[in-house]
């Protein structure tokens, strides 16, 4: 087993965190709740020599309403998000999504920022170093081909955040700070759609908050496919929002591709055609618990059910 020790910093501001990152440019990782990062360190998939703990940054975990928008600090825990009265009353899909993640103990530490950047998963990657070396390293951990597909070009590790589809279908934007100052982008643009490096955040950048606009009347729907109702990672998560006034529909899916799969439409006159297009776009391979064919079929099942329940068809 490798020596996995690290120098641990606890900065008191975003600026100090960025400066510390810059000073350790070659080998550092931000750590929030640590519920994803520490597993990867144990599995020897992360050997950063410096860990920068974000938990002491004042206000980092706040959830507030500002000028009608929901503002979620990157350090807000999933427990706080699920328990927030504002979230439960006005954005219930976010509370449902947060409650679907991991277990009560993990949700006490796991943060929203960490969930946005949770590492993609694959049967052949999420294993101990010993297991991975025995089977032959895959593309994502230094090998030269993808064990799931046999291909040499692409890693098919799966984007698995459960919160991200719910946030995307509400039109969320992610705010981050870095070398270029403060920046903001629609949440779906944070993801590259590639398995090897699934996030497009500039090196050293720090997510500070997520903002959800005040939408008019929207109906939302969320479902997660997994073997057990607690602890299991998703095999397919589908969230959708539908505005009955305008007929606008937004669908966001995780557990189905290397990044979130997102579709928007104002025309559901051919809903079965729309469902087929969405399912076709999900590039699933055999690398999670449930077989690919079943997961693919469930995209249609979930989407059809969701469209019916929000009254979109």
Ligand X SMILES: Cc1cc2nc3c(=O)[nH]c(=O)nc-3n(C[C@H](O)[C@H](O)[C@H](O)COP(=O)(O)OP(=O)(O)OC[C@H]3O[C@@H](n4cnc5c(N)ncnc54)[C@H](O)[C@@H]3O)c2cc1C
By the criterion CB under 6 A, which residues form the site for ligand X?
29-37, 39, 54, 74, 78, 101-102, 106, 109-111, 113-115, 117-118, 160-162, 206-207, 231, 233-234
Q: b/e for 160-172, b at 16 or more Cβ within 10 A?
A: bbbbbbbbbbbbb
Degrees (nearest 5) of the Cα angle 23, 29, 31?
A: 120
* Dihedral angle of Cα 268, 272, 274, 278, to the nearest 10 degrees: 150
Q: What is the DSSP letter of 71?
A: E
CB of 186 to ligand X, least distance (A): 17
CB of 274 to ligand X, least distance (A): 26
Pairing of strands 63-66, 69-73: antiparallel
CA separation for the pair 187, 46 (Å, rounded): 25
CB of 226 to ligand X, least distance (A): 7
Q: Which CB sits closer to ligand X, 196 or 231?
A: 231
Q: Which CB sits closer to ligand X, 59 or 151?
A: 59
Q: Which CB sits closer to ligand X, 95 or 118?
A: 118
CB of 143 to ligand X, least distance (A): 21
Q: Which CB sits closer to ligand X, 37 or 167?
A: 37
Residue of this chain nearest to ligand X (CB atom) = 114
Contact predicate 57/11, CB 8 Å: yes
Q: Which CB sits closer to ligand X, 162 or 274?
A: 162
Can you tell me whether residue 61 is helix, strand or coil?
coil
Residues 6+ apart with CB under 8 A from 197: none
CB of 121 to ligand X, least distance (A): 9
């Amino acid at each position: 087993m490798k020596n996995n020790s690290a120098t641990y910093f606890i900065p008191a501001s975003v600026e100090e965190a960025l400066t510390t990152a810059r000073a350790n440019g070659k080998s550092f990782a931000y750590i929030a709740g640590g519920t994803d990062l520490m597993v990867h360190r144990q599995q020897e998939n992360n050997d950063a020599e410096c860990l920068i703990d974000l938990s002491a940054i004042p206000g980092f975990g706040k959830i507030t309403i500002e000028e009608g928008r929901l503002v979620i600090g990157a350090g807000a825990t999933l427990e706080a998000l699920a328990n927030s009265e504002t979230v439960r009353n006005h954005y219930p899909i976010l509370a449902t999504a947060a409650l679907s993640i991991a277990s009560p103990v993990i949700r006490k530490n796991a943060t929203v920022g960490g969930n946005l950047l949770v590492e993609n998963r694959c049967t052949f990657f999420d294993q101990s170093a010993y297991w991975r070396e025995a089977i032959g390293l895959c593309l994502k951990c230094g090998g030269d081909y993808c064990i799931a597909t046999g291909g040499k070009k692409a890693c098919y590790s799966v984007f698995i955040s459960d919160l991200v589809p719910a946030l995307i279908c509400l039109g969320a934007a992610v705010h981050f700070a870095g070398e270029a100052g403060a920046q903001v982008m629609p949440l779906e643009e944070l993801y590259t759609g590639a398995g090897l490096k699934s996030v497009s955040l500039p090196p050293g950048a720090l997510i500070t908050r997520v903002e959800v606009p005040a939408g008019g009347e929207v109906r939302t729907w969320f479902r997660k496919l997994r073997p057990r109702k607690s602890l299991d990672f998703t095999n397919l998560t589908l969230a959708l929002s539908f505005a009955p006034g305008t007929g606008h529909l937004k669908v966001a899916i995780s557990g189905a591709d290397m990044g979130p799969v997102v579709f928007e439409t104002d025309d559901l006159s051919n809903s079965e055609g729309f469902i087929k297009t969405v399912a076709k776009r999900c590039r699933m391979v055999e690398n999670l618990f449930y077989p690919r064919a079943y997961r693919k079929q469930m995209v249609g099942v979930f989407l059809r059910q969701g469209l019916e329940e929000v009254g979109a068809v």
